[in-house]
Amino acid sequence: ALPIYDVPGIGQFTGFKDEHPSGRHFVAFARPGIGSEIFRKDILELAEKTILPKFTFPGHYAITGWTFLAKSYFGADHMGDAFVASKGSTGRTAEKVGYSVDRVMFDKLNGQPYGSWKIVSTLVDGQTYARPTDCAEAPDGSIFFTDDAGRKIYRISKAGK
């Protein structure tokens, strides 16, 4: 997931990862009596000072790249918003998620993210057609996104362009 934070200063705590004895990394939350001996002893202190994200995508979206829009190609209301590439995750037994390019909208008055809108889905009826990995704003303001599965570059433009 891609968390978006509003961090007021250097050295702020935005969360932590811990290491399981198996070597796998995970966010550590203590559950008394259920393996609590492998968790950090200072978990409550760390949780109290954690700054929570202002916006995040669900897990397994596998966000790998994004760009903030500086041009008004899609309209002035898009400026300052982000286009985000999510390549999805492979090897899941559950329903696939991600495989898209989404717009994260930012409030123009307070600068905070408030929602997202799927612009392109490359997952149709369970079939994956591309794995978006990054986005870039072109000189004209349209958006390019890369596909690491098909090794292609796609362009998102206004209708009729």
* Residue range 102-135, pLDDT digits in tens: 999 999 998 889 999 999 999 988 888 999 999 9
Nearest CA-CA partner of 103 in 68, 130, 133: 68
* Residue range 26-71, pLDDT digits in tens: 444 444 444 545 556 777 777 777 777 788 888 788 888 999 999 9
- Amino acid identity, residue 157? S
Average model confidence (pLDDT) for the chain? Answer: 79
Supply the pLDDT for residue 11: 62
Instruction: Kindly give, in sequence order, each residue whose CB lies less than 8 Å from that of residue 65, ignoring residues fewer than 6 positions away.
Output: 84, 85, 132, 133, 134, 135, 146
- The pair of three-digit structure tokens given for residue 105, joined into one six-digit string: 């909208």
Distance, in Å, from the CA atom of 25 to the CA atom of 42, rounded to the nearest integer, reads: 17
Per 3-state DSSP, what percentage of the chain is helix, strand, and coil (rounded to 5)? 10, 35, 60
